[in-house]
Structure 1
Amino acid sequence: MRLPALVLVLLALFVSPALAQRLDETPRVAVISAFPPEIGALSAATSLTKTYEVNGVRFTTGQMEGKPVVVFLSGVSMVNAAMTTQMALDRFNITRIVFSGIAGGVDEGLDIGDVVVADQWAQNLESAFARETDKGFEVSPSISNSPLANYGMIYPRGIILPGTDLSAPARVWFPADPALLDTARKVAAAVPLQRCAADKCLVHAPKVVVGGNGVSAPVFLDNAAYRKYLRATFEARLVDMESAAVAHVALVNKTPFIAFRSLSDLAGGGAGANEMHTFMALASDNSATVVRAFVKALPN
């Protein structure tokens, strides 16, 4: 016996998760960090707050530097960042996406505490692991579709976006929005950054650097050899675990994106132990300071 169409629809509503519904229609800037130490100063700078919770993710709407915002944690790493960004886009009227947090330095010309705003982001471990043969590593050109050099068995791949013909060129780079980058350049020179954390001070006064490439992967990088590979092959200036995923989601949703990342360590380039835990608070606050100045400078 066939059930009437209306009955089938009602059954689907009872057994399926609720469809995403808008929680707030005010046009807002999404301000995102990955984990709690990065977001403290941004949350403290948000007033007139209202909190929503969806699937364990807390979204806080309010005002930051006179602008309507929604502030939330993406969670650490690529899948979390993509998932929560899409959740926010589905439930809020987001006009721009701003990411704030720490990162590992790749460019040896940069120093811990610097805030770096990359022009574009790549997912550096989107790759093919090659077969090892008597002749060395072998991978089909159709599998490794990027011209970037390999690192041993790891051959970078580009990404075919949903809805794109499989014969179309694969995408390696996901851009920051040019207009947002221009605003970042305007505020960069005027933002005071911290140089000391507790009883430990940086050798160089931190600075804001706008431009260049960033890379992201679901890996905490503390390896000097692979760091050098990223610099030589991707011309990367910094590495993190979320920004490229958020840039990817922003591109598909046609939403302007920018990421501010302050260097907490040198991704395996330091002479001693990794410096992240020593300078994480300083780097987080430096990034947040620049983001607040950036949000204030945004046109309404």
Structure 2
Amino acid sequence: MRKHLKVIMLGFVILVWGVCSSTSGRAYGAISTATMQEIDRVNEKGPYLGIIVPNSFEMNPLLQSPSFVADLKVPYLDYFGITTQLLLILFKVKGVLHYGIAGNANPQLQIGDVTIPRYWAHTGLWNWQRYGDGTSEELALESNGDYTREIGYLRFANYQNASENGKPIDNFLNNVWYQPEEVFPADGIPEVRQHSFWVPVNKHYFKVAKRIEGMTFQGCVSSTCLPRAPRAVRVKNGASANAFVDNSAYREFLNSKFNITPIDMESAAVALVCHQQQIPFIAIRALSDLAGGGSAVSNEADIFASLAAQNAVDASLRFITLLFP
């Protein structure tokens, strides 16, 4: 296990060091010859499983794990926002594991549970329909193939406090229609776009993840404990967008409309890049709060975020040992 994790984290460490540091303290777009030589040295022992982490808070439990061994040839480690694309371009990566914490949209699960979705969707790309147009009317640029009504929509009038004769009063915000992302797969026809809303994780990785279902984790922070021990579970769908969801109505909409469990801001982006580059991918997300509140232990990310981060790391380490027995 120690050998595997040392190899896995090497690429991350050197990528941070080489791309984001220089003698003058500034970062440049070009990569120096010395840095490329270091990257080549790493790649000689590849390919690797790349680990992508949202931020240092979620990375620290991994760095503190006895399974992590730093490369002594790298002078220091710092965290920067490294894109999945850079990782896949510069290093020999045969797969990507993404982990972290997430909000919960599934009332059947609780804070601390570790979720492993089969599919990820980016739910932040919309066509915002003009006021006065209805659901049967074509969207702007729909005829060109730029937009679609196939995925579904959110009607703002359904979420108003006021009503008239038992029916929602119309709303000037009208409807937003969810849209798929444009992708250009590495093995596709150049300049011919494809569309993807649901991005599947790798089938083999998801099958391996079944072996950690039922795994239990710590459920207390000091004297504050959850109703039951958190557990790992595979779920149908997860969602990401450039929005922090702390609203119960939208949480319930995502769960009822798309069967979403974890809600975060990164996983779908990683999934889309891996899908485009044809690289195996899986995401493991521990639930830190019930998005928008609504239960006795809801909306307590300040208390349970550290516990969720540790649970995500524990599940990820177990997954790695099963992936590389």
Instruction: Give the TM-score band, short-chain normalised.
Output: 0.7 to 0.9
Gap change, CA 1:86 and 1:193, over 3 Å in 2: same
Contact 1:216 1:241 in 2 (8 A): yes
**Deviations for 1:173-212, whole angstroms, at most 9, x for unmatched residues?**
11111111111111333x3401101221101221111131
Work out the CA distance in 2 between the residues paired with 1:107 and 1:284: 19
Partners of 1:139 and 1:298 lie apart in 2 by 45
Cα contact 2:184–2:192 (8 A) shared by 1: no
Q: Does residue 280 in structure 1 map to residue 305 in structure 2?
A: yes
Q: Does 1:209 align with 2:266?
A: no
1:261 match: secondary structure: strand
Moved more, 265-274 or 234-243: 265-274
1:135/1:90 CA distance change after superposition, 3 Å: closer
RMSD value over aligned CA atoms?
A: 2.8
SS of equivalent to 2:153: coil
For 2:207 and 2:146, the matched residues in 1 are separated by 37
Runs of 5+ unmatched residues, structure 2: 1-27, 156-174
The aligned counterpart of 1:43 is 63
Identify the residue that residue 124 of structure 1 maps to in structure 2. Answer: 123
Match of 1:149 among 149, 152, 161: 152
Identify the residue that residue 239 of structure 1 maps to in structure 2.
Answer: 263
Task: Measure, in 2, the Cα distance between the counterparts of 1:157 and 1:130.
Answer: 12
User: Normalization by structure 2: what TM-score?
Assistant: 0.72
Match of 1:112 in 2: 111
1:161 aligned partner: 183
Deviation of 1:43 (Å): 1.4
Q: Partners of 2:61 and 2:263 in 1: how far apart?
A: 22
What is the match of residue 184 of structure 1?
A: 209
Partner of 1:196: 220
2:161 matched residue in structure 1 = none
The 2-side partners of 1:162 and 1:58 are apart by 33
CA distance in 2, matches of 1:52, 1:243: 28
Structure 1 residue 157 displacement after superposition = 0.5
CA distance in 2, matches of 1:93, 1:50: 21
Q: What pairs up with 1:125-140 in 2 under 5 angstroms?
A: 125-133=124-132, 139-140=139-140
Q: Which runs of 4+ in 1 moved over 2 A?
A: 15-23, 48-53, 133-144, 162-170, 269-274
Percent of pairs with identical residues? 29
What is the alpha-carbon distance in structure 2 between the residues aligned to residue 49 and residue 124 of structure 1?
38
1:221 to 1:74, Cα distance in 2 relative to 1, 3 A: farther
Deviation at 1:167, TM superposition (A): 8.3
Instruction: Give the Cα separation in 2 of the matches to 1:212 and 1:74.
Output: 31
- CA distance in structure 1 between the partners assigned to 2:241 and 2:306 by the alignment: 22
- Cα shift at 1:123: 0.2
**What's the offset of the Cα at 1:97?**
0.7
Letter in 2 for 1:157: Q
The alpha carbon displacement at 1:134 in A equals: 7.1
The corresponding residue for 1:222 is 246
- Whether contact under 8 Å (1:143, 1:157) holds in the other structure is no
Q: Give the corresponding residue for 1:17.
A: 30
SS in 2 for 1:119: strand
Tell me: CA distance 1:121–1:135, structure 2 relative to 1, closer, same or farther (3 Å). Answer: closer
Aligned to 1:12: none
Shift of residue 87 of structure 1? 1.3
Whichever structure has more strand as a proportion of its residues is 1
1:209 partner letter: V
Go from structure 1 to structure 2 and tell me whether the alpha carbon gap of 1:205 and 1:109 turns closer, same or farther (over 3 Å shift). Answer: same
Q: In 2 relative to 1, CA 146–96 (structure 1 residues): closer, same or farther, beyond 3 Å? A: farther
Q: Per the alignment, do residues 234 and 169 of structure 1 end up closer, same or farther by CA in structure 2, a change over 3 Å counting?
A: farther
Pairing 1:34–2:47 present: no
Q: Closer, same or farther in 2 for the Cα pair 1:240/1:44, shift >3 Å?
A: same
The answer to whether structure 1 residue 290 and structure 2 residue 315 are counterparts is: yes
- SS, match of residue 293 in structure 1: helix
**Compared CA separation, residues 203 and 74, structure 1 to 2 (3 A):** farther
Instruction: Verify the 8 A CA contact 2:139 2:148 in the aligned structure 1.
Output: no
2-structure distance, mates of 1:186, 1:134: 49
Paired with 1:249 and 1:31, the residues of 2 have a C-alpha distance of 14
Q: Distance in 2 between matches of 1:43 and 1:128?
A: 42
Q: Judging changes above 3 Å, is the alpha-carbon distance between structure 1 residues 289 and 200 closer, same or farther for their aligned structure 2 residues?
A: same
